[in-house]
Amino acid sequence: MASTFTCLDYHVVFSTKYRKPLIHERMREELYQYLGGIIRGEGGCLREIGGMPDHLHLLVGLPPTIALSDAVRIFKASSSKWVNERDDCATKFQWQTGYAAFSVSFSQREAVQRYIQNQRDHHRQRSFQEELIELLERHHIEYDPQYVFEQEHVG
């Protein structure tokens, strides 16, 4: 083959540190736009973004020149820095250390986009924790429940 041809779409999910509801209504759209710019800057394409005050879902197309782990690290580091530099940031903003990512075939892209668009409806019926466990199980990803979410240590 004379060229390289790829369609590398991922459904990426990550939460705020300790799942604190820090993604406020007043900054949500700007955060989404900022993340879109970061993704485009890395040669990717933000196909959909949505979430709740404590987590985000991204449907992102990435070029084969960047590893998914590197891309997510860049997305999270750049966006948390941006949030912390805002005048309306009352408390330190951080993302949880890990993330979940699932490959998405072209034939399922629209279904994942609708899923992300309907986050508010999903969370009327189940928590983020329940949602993430369901996604992990649907994709046959083994996990230890005690290590799915970072726990805030008191003391």
Checking if the pLDDT of 153 tops 70, the result is no
What CA–CA distance (Å, rounded) separates 58 from 123?
A: 16
**Mean pLDDT, the chain, integer:** 93
Contact of 76 with 100, CB cutoff 8 Å? no
Residue count of the chain: 155
- pLDDT above 90 covers a percentage of the chain that reads 77
Angstrom distance (rounded) from CA 106 to CA 134: 22
Residue 154's pLDDT band, with cuts at 50, 70 and 90, is low
Cβ atoms of residues 132 and 52 within 8 Å: no
Task: Convert the pLDDT of each residue in 89-113 to its tens digit.
Answer: 778 999 999 999 999 999 999 999 9
Quick: pLDDT tens for 110-152: 999 999 999 988 888 899 999 999 999 999 999 988 888 877 7
Ordered structural domains, the chain, with CATH: 9-147 (3.30.70.1290)
